[in-house]
Amino acid sequence: MQHTSKFFQTVCALSVICLTLLVSSPLALLAFSDSASPIPVSGPPNDPEGPEDPDPDPELVPVPENKYTIPNNAIDAYYMNENPDNPAIPSKPVYDVFTVEERQARGLVLEVPKVSPYYGQKVVYLTFDDGPEPENTPAVLAILKSQGIKATFFVVGNQIEKYPAILRQIYQDGHAIGNHSYNHVYRELYQSTNNYFSQLRHTDEIIKNSIGVRPRISRAPGGSAGSFTKEYWATLKNLGYTEVGWNISSGDASSAKAGQLVNNIAAQMDNKNLWSHAILLMHDGRGHAETVKALPAIIKFYKDRQFEFRVVNFETPSPW
């Protein structure tokens, strides 16, 4: 009986020790509790909203709107739009998202932004008139692409109506485009300033219908000398056109063969005053297959002499 009593006392003492441990240890209580609340793993204890979502739904993030018009088919070029403080981009083609009429209707400025003319040590502008044309223009584009060179194409409105896809190729290849009238017929063009600028504006619309923008540079068929009066120059300025002539002629308006065209250019390049801004006139219209043949040698001539190739834009200096 004495042994039984001592055993009972020992069991009671152990029970008291176990109960004391359970009461004094919260972890032990949690181990034996099915209704314990989970321990929070993040967020401050007094923050009723919990932790911030580190990866919010992108559809809910507001995207700032561009309040200025940008063409859907934009290339590496300078686009003029509603922004009056939009600075010209050096060495890039120049396009306007609005026609003259659209600018006038919106009350937007027409004048050309002020830029300094670019004079390099050796600079050449390859320019082609009278296209687009289905044989010569694609051939010229292929040569330019193979040589990694950008040029400037002064296009005629009634030719664009026939071959709009070729104009789009000129644009998508990153070349500059200029307005060269609608029909290139001197007796109609130069009857009056109204006739001349009606053709320019009509061609602008044709170009914009094809590529979504219009050029701001132009070249008078046959050149401005002998055809332009002060009224022409004043209207050009008021409507925001930049007239671009030339100071080197390939002579391809004649029956000269490819070799002679190269020699013509080389002889004129003896005038070192032209090296800083040599604007070379060529043609890609009908009947100028010899120009296409001469083009690789012409490019080589300038590359061998380390000339920089540029497109015509607002920075292009006056030829003379």
| pLDDT, mean of each 10-residue run, the chain (320 residues) | 50 49 45 41 44 48 64 94 90 97 96 94 98 98 98 98 98 98 97 97 98 98 96 97 98 96 98 98 97 98 98 96
Alpha-carbon span 304 to 309, nearest angstrom: 12
Coil, strand or helix: which one is 278? strand
Domain limits, the chain: 87-309
Contact 141, 173 (CB under 8 A): yes
- Distance from chain centroid for Cα 208: 15
Alpha-carbon span 255 to 253, nearest angstrom: 7
Alpha-carbon span 116 to 114, nearest angstrom: 7
What integer pLDDT is reported at residue 84 of this predicted model?
A: 85
Half-sphere exposure for 127 (CA within 13 Å, toward CB): 31
CATH class of 87-309: alpha beta
Contact 154, 307 (CB under 8 A): no
Contact 73, 211 (CB under 8 A): yes
Q: pTM for this structure?
A: 0.80
What integer pLDDT is reported at residue 312 of this predicted model?
A: 98
What integer pLDDT is reported at residue 6 of this predicted model?
A: 53
What integer pLDDT is reported at residue 137 of this predicted model?
A: 98
What integer pLDDT is reported at residue 67 of this predicted model?
A: 76
